[in-house]
Amino acid sequence: MQHLIETQQFTREALKELFNVATSLEGKRGQSLKGKILASLFYEPSTRTRLSFESAMLRLGGEVITMENGKESSSQSKGETLEDSIKVVNHYADLIVMRHAEVGSAARAAAVSNVPIINAGDGNMGQHPTQALLDLYTIQRELKREDNIHIAIVGNLKYYRSPRSLAYLLSKYKDIKVTFISSPELRMEEDVKTHLKENNVPFTETEDMITGIRDADVVYQTRIAKEWIKNDEEYEKQRGRYIITRAVADSMKKGAIIIHPLPRVGEIEEAVDASPHAVYFKQIGYGLIVRMALLKTILGGEKKLFRAHKKK
């Protein structure tokens, strides 16, 4: 049984194999997961992650049961523990995709589950491994290389699980350079920076977006996320600080790309959508096939591609 809780479970070789499976599934439908049931348990709002997992399962011939807005619609509102909920859903599904507001919730679910758990986001400072996988796949597909990449990650680095997860994946490659661009209040946490240091990945921190993205191959823009910054005054201070306008996009070097986990809320102007650098909507399609590959790998009898999650 394979639980996917964090990106540290992958090796470079496993990522290559997974991405090869994803590429082979592009534009395809099949029946390899016929008879299998996916339960999507979302205690937090989601559009792309929930629907792409459900679409991925259906395209592979499987079935889906779903719970949206679980914080209010599930038995959690009656006081049921997460562990008890997972023990119940185990009887209904062959795999559970779960998003939850608490850091560490996915690991808690995996500890009691008899079916595979896929972490679809646990807390604002936890991880979102499948988003990081599709981010990395997008980068490699668009740049047509795995190594020698300079990525600038912009905006909300403290309260954003996706770039945290991606940083752990990037450390598996050669000649990677990272530039963290944020206000002092939203800097990347020390655990990620320590990991990069331990893996000899050079990084710099700056508040200057224009200078920071000048030589970047990838600009990873993030949303300030009002739901994670509870102080309204602080949110208003931060949300307009880093905006990619068409002029900013046009200043990027030739061949560089802009990615974003979406949704965007003003941090990339709509005029940028027509820029050759903008690939954030293309990312959505890449995400679908990466999740198809994960489901096929975990449920379809393919060999195990990632390591077991280590309990902490």
In the chain, pLDDT over 70 holds for what percent of residues? Answer: 93
Contact 128, 120 (CB under 8 A): yes
166 and 28 in a common domain = no
Q: Check whether 194 has a pLDDT greater than 60.
A: yes
Residue 173 included in any domain: yes
Structural domain total, the chain: 2
291 and 256 in a common domain = no
Residue 309 included in any domain: no
CATH code of the domain covering residue 159: 3.40.50.1370
Q: Which of 78, 144, 254, 303 is catalytic?
A: 78
Q: Per-residue confidence at 77, pLDDT binned at 50, 70, 90?
A: low
Whether 99 is catalytic is yes
Average per-residue pLDDT for the chain = 91
91 and 65 in a common domain = yes
Q: Per-residue confidence at 225, pLDDT binned at 50, 70, 90?
A: low
Residue 55 included in any domain: yes
| Interatomic CA distance for residues 154 and 167, integer angstroms | 13
In the chain, pLDDT over 90 holds for what percent of residues? Answer: 73
Q: Which of 36, 50, 99, 161 is catalytic?
A: 99
| Interatomic CA distance for residues 284 and 134, integer angstroms | 8
Whether 193 is catalytic is no
- Structure token pair of residue 279: 């690939």
What is the domain extent for residue 119?
7-127+286-299
* Other Cβ atoms within 10 Å of 192 Cβ, number: 20
Q: Check whether 227 has a pLDDT greater than 70.
A: no
Q: Check whether 231 has a pLDDT greater than 80.
A: no
157 and 267 in a common domain = yes
172 and 255 in a common domain = yes
What is the structure's pLDDT at 211? 95
173 and 119 in a common domain = no
Q: Which of 48, 187, 193, 195 is catalytic?
A: 48
Whether 172 is catalytic is no
Whether 264 is catalytic is no
Whether 307 is catalytic is no
* Other Cβ atoms within 10 Å of 209 Cβ, number: 21
271 and 145 in a common domain = yes
Q: Per-residue confidence at 22, pLDDT binned at 50, 70, 90?
A: very high
| Interatomic CA distance for residues 189 and 139, integer angstroms | 23
Residue 101 included in any domain: yes
Q: Per-residue confidence at 280, pLDDT binned at 50, 70, 90?
A: very high
Higher per-residue confidence, 163 vs 96: 96
122 and 138 in a common domain = no
275 and 137 in a common domain = yes
Q: Which of 3, 7, 36, 49 is catalytic?
A: 49
Closest CA to 153 of 144, 142, 166, 141: 166
Q: Check whether 229 has a pLDDT greater than 80.
A: no
Higher per-residue confidence, 260 vs 76: 260
134 and 276 in a common domain = yes
Question: In the sheet where 117-122 sits, what is the strand order?
Answer: 63-67, 37-42, 95-100, 117-122
155 and 95 in a common domain = no
- Mean pLDDT, residues 78-86: 89
Contact 124, 161 (CB under 8 A): yes
For 144-177, give the DSSP string.
T-SSSEEEEEES--TT-HHHHHHHHHHTTSSSEE
What is the structure's pLDDT at 79? 80
Closest CA to 119 of 141, 144, 102: 102
Residue 1 included in any domain: no
Q: Per-residue confidence at 68, pLDDT binned at 50, 70, 90?
A: confident
Q: Per-residue confidence at 4, pLDDT binned at 50, 70, 90?
A: very high
| 24-49 pLDDT per residue, tens | 999 999 999 999 999 999 998 888 99
Residue 310 included in any domain: no
Residue with tokens 């339960």: 39
Residue 172 included in any domain: yes
Q: Which of 50, 100, 128, 309 is catalytic?
A: 128
Q: What are phi and psi of 162, to 5 degrees?
A: -65, -50
What is the structure's pLDDT at 226? 62
Q: Check whether 87 has a pLDDT greater than 70.
A: yes
DSSP 187: P
